[in-house]
Amino acid sequence: MTREAGEDVAAGREHMIRHLRQLVEALERRVPHIERSGEGAIAHDAAALKDRALKRIAELESQRSRSSR
């Protein structure tokens, strides 16, 4: 991989990490509205999405640390 291509990959990875962190922050700010129909499913889906985002952040950060060696 050329240096330029490696920089593009690294920039894309940083961009993705930043957006995933914003998603996690938004999900953490969300206040469940128990009185609303379907809220249990929404809260469950939000928790699952947060978990997937955190796992993906960890994967991307691991790739970042491996590529910087």
pLDDT digits (tens, 9 = 90+) for 25-49: 999 999 988 899 999 999 999 999 9
Range of the domain at 30: 3-67
Reported as a pLDDT band with limits 50, 70 and 90, residue 68 is low
Residue 33: both structure tokens together: 């509205």
Instruction: Tell me what pLDDT residue 9 has.
Output: 81
The answer to whether 15 and 69 are in contact (CB under 8 A) is: no
Instruction: Tell me what pLDDT residue 41 has.
Output: 94
User: How much is the mean pLDDT over the chain?
Assistant: 90
Number of structural domains the chain divides into: 1
Give the rounded distance of the alpha carbon of 52 from its chain centre. 7
